[in-house]
């Protein structure tokens, strides 16, 4: 059975997709870019500000699904510039500081709305 998960506390989908979908014991979260949930506007500033907003959006989506960062089993980070890897890695470690999930980081030619970072993830909701 499939369940759609949505919250006003994270940016709304900017296309024909769901914020997250629960399928069995897993929840699949759509990519989050650094948008403010209230306005849908892009965070101004550099990669640090954008990465922090993405992680705030991650937390809001996890809360909406009744999950925590400890339930995340896989993340994928897309960067506009791989030179930002070390800075993003440090900010990421602030949230995923204990038993971190599996992860991939890739450079993308372009991200939606000109974002510098996007992140998607999968969480396990089984007990």
CB 72 within 8 A of CB 101: yes
Say which CATH number the domain at 50 has: 3.30.1330.40
Residue 100: CB partners within 8 Å, gap ≥ 6? 93
- What φ, ψ does residue 120 adopt, rounded to 5°? -125, 160
pLDDT tens digits, 63-84: 999 999 999 999 999 999 999 9
3-state secondary structure of 54: helix
- What are all long-range contacts of 42-49, with beta carbons under 8 Å and residues at least 24 apart? 42/113, 42/114, 42/115, 46/116, 47/79, 47/81, 47/84, 47/87, 47/88, 47/116, 47/117, 48/87, 48/91
Number of domains in the chain: 1
Q: What is the pLDDT along the chain (127 residues), one digit of tens a residue?
A: 899 999 999 999 888 999 999 999 999 999 999 999 999 999 998 999 999 999 999 999 999 999 999 999 999 999 999 999 999 999 999 999 999 999 999 999 999 999 999 999 999 998 6
For 41, the domain range is 2-124
Q: What is the b/e burial string over 101-113, where b = at least 16 CB atoms within 10 angstroms of the residue's CB?
A: beeebeeeeebee
CA distance 125 to 26: 6
Predicted TM-score (pTM) above 0.75:
yes
The pLDDT value recorded for residue 87 is: 97
């Amino acid at each position: 059975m499939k369940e759609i998960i949505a919250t006003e506390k994270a940016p709304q989908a900017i296309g024909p997709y769901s914020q997250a979908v629960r399928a069995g014991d897993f929840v699949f979260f759509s990519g989050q870019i650094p948008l403010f949930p209230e306005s849908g506007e892009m965070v101004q500033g550099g990669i640090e500000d954008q990465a922090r907003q993405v992680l705030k959006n991650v937390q809001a989506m996890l809360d909406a699904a009744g999950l925590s960062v400890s339930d995340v089993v896989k993340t994928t980070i897309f960067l506009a510039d791989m030179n930002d890897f070390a800075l993003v890695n440090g900010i990421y470690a602030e949230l995923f500081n204990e038993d971190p999930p599996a992860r991939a980081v890739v450079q993308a030619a372009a991200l939606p709305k000109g974002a510098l970072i996007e992140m998607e993830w999968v969480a396990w909701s089984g007990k």
